[in-house]
Structure 1
Amino acid sequence: MVNPESFLKALFNQAVKTAHPDTHLASALSSLDKTSQGRTIILGAGKGAAAMAAIAENYFEGQVEGLVVTPYQHGCSTKIVEVVEAAHPVPDDAGQEVARRILALVADLKPEDRVIFLVSGGGSALLVLPADGIDLKEKKRINKQLLYSGASIDEINCVRKKLSQVKGGRLALHCAPATVHTFAISDVPGDSPSVIASGPTVEDDTSIEAALEVLARYNIHVSSAVTAYLEQQDKLDYRHLPKRNSFEIISTPQMSLDAAAEFALSQGITPLILGDLEGESSDVAKVHGGIARQVLHYAQPIKPPCVIISGGETTVTVKGRGRGGRNAEFLLALTLDLKGKKGVSAIACDTDGIDGSEDNAGAIMLANTYGKALNKQLNPRAYLENNDGYSFFEALDALIVTGPTRTNVNDFRAILIQA
């Protein structure tokens, strides 16, 4: 038998390592010439933007310059590319100023110039420039409501794209006639380029009607100016996108799940990958709990020792006033569902190292966690109803704290079952 805590932490570390820019970006860049007849402008937005920029600036030669935006505390040392830190998940003035500077940087580009755009999860909030007539305060209010509503990332980004001067292919339109090469770390189920960071360099595949429907479905309050803007907005003419506009995904959630599965096999543990999942965190936890019980009691669909692995991006409809992100919420709901089943342990963390807006990546649940909670007079259901997973696991010294990982392929969940 493996040590549950050590095994689960090693599994998560393997998933993060596989998703880091160091693993794949240099190889992807090698498909491009190091030098260019014109300027090479390195731009980027996301949790991995600074780490990606540090790699890219060491590859290209000649007239190279650049500017990227990443969350606070996600920066790293660069020689050429300027790194600016801004707020995430709710945007701030720093992100807006960077977006303005990026548009100024790509103004008047020539056909011989090229833009290297480095994008990763978090780019939607970090690279923010509201459409004309909409101020940042309004955009922040809408963004915050969407984040708390339980809307999926596809739905959130559908709205974001319609209210932006850079998202939904608009950045690429500003870059024409230069060549644009985008390298992305995917943090979205399905890896759609138009959803990753709201697709600044690719054609928007959603409609105005879809955005209005999302706002109505989740009862998102917007000003009359926003409603009028959406209803009167013309469809973008993507015929003016750069003729040479490539997009390559270098890391995906599935790659990290596969790497974790390979590590499990090396330890004599059979993996079962459920893939990228969406839905309310507590509901997803109940499904995982049901599978764990079936494995434990009937050896179906696989026999112990085994590990159930999943990724994706769940949601939390916030009703309480507690602390914690979707991974702590998932694990708290799983703890309540399993009630200390012998031989079952689990981990749930965000691969960017930040669960929601807290300082932890997630948390770990061992077979004795439920019993320890009751001994400490911690009521799991009360904590769950208050959306307070952080405080629950903090009281049990079970938070996972990694600090920023400078990548993001979303959630990582693993349930170890040893009979």
Structure 2
Amino acid sequence: MTVDRILPTDEAYDLLALTTELADRELAPRAAQFEERGEFPREVLRTLGRSGLLGLPYPAEYGGAEQPYEVYLQVLEVLASRWLAVAEAVSVHTLSCYPVSAYGDEKLRAMLPDMIGGELLGAYCLSEPQGGSDAAALATRAERDGEEYVVSGTKAWITHAGAADFYNIFCRTGGPGPKGISCLLADADTPGITPQAPERTMGLRASPVAQIAFDDARVPADRLVGSEGTGFTIAMTALDSGRLGIAACAVGLAQAALDYAVAYAKERQQFGQAIIDFQGLGFLLADMATAVSAARAVTLAAARLRDAGRPYSVEAAKAKVFATDTAMRVTTDAVQVLGGAGYVADHPVERYLREAKVLQIVEGTNQIQRMVIARSLAR
């Protein structure tokens, strides 16, 4: 169904129209086949980059579009409603450009045009096998050796592992705790950086996720983003925005599941009438529609705080929790609406359900988000 949007400018309406056209033409026809094959759609990302959709929140001087986050998130939502893996890839790539844009020197920022133009794909290397939620305890080490850092350790659950052209590596250059963490920008073909075999995931099979081993990988010292010891601040600041991206992806996925369930319920006949006319099913669909609208509203409310330069970390956590929990519930109910048909791969709601689960986990589990929210209430 058509979403009635209020956007801040005429340019934003044109941008959403372009996004919808591209998503219908380039994403929707490919999604099922690529997911079945587990094939990463790298050329689709290049197409989006060349269309200006990978640099929406970034400065025009580096090739970005300087769009407010409330507009960028609605672009993500449209992409996710056609193919979640692509929307997630855009969100992760946008997150991966943030450290250089916000903290890099001019030499590093000279790379931004290729980054946000889609020629260079990024990845964000924060999580580790023994430290996912506890990012401050990461163990990957970078020792200074002249004009280079020598990086050793293992990162885990890295989206775009093996497909990315550059990696943001969060590593320990100092003592324990958050103040000992720094961020390095490394080329993916650096000797000693070895992506491992992709994980066999429940959903998002077109999105490569794997561990990355760092075996004395030498990264030039001028690839330090910010200064030594600021890596944890960079990581956490970026994740606030990344959580909004995942929330928007969840809204788009939930909208897709709702739209498919409604269309099916209008066509499916039982006892001489369309099943949408039965109150039990009609009320279920009504609750789904209400939840999707609410998830969109809370996500955009957090984005508008960000755009206004006001604190938004807690609101981003609320949006991530609510939108991803909504996506899980709505996709589950969409399968129920289709009954047995919803349990087979002939209909996309089966895939939507598998994809929704990961959104409750990535960019900080929903349990971590609830800790953030609870601590804000206790202050």
**Superposition TM-score, scaled by structure 1 size:** 0.25
Greater C-alpha radius of gyration: 1
Q: Which has the higher helix share?
A: 2
Question: What is the TM-score with the length of structure 2 in the denominator?
Answer: 0.27
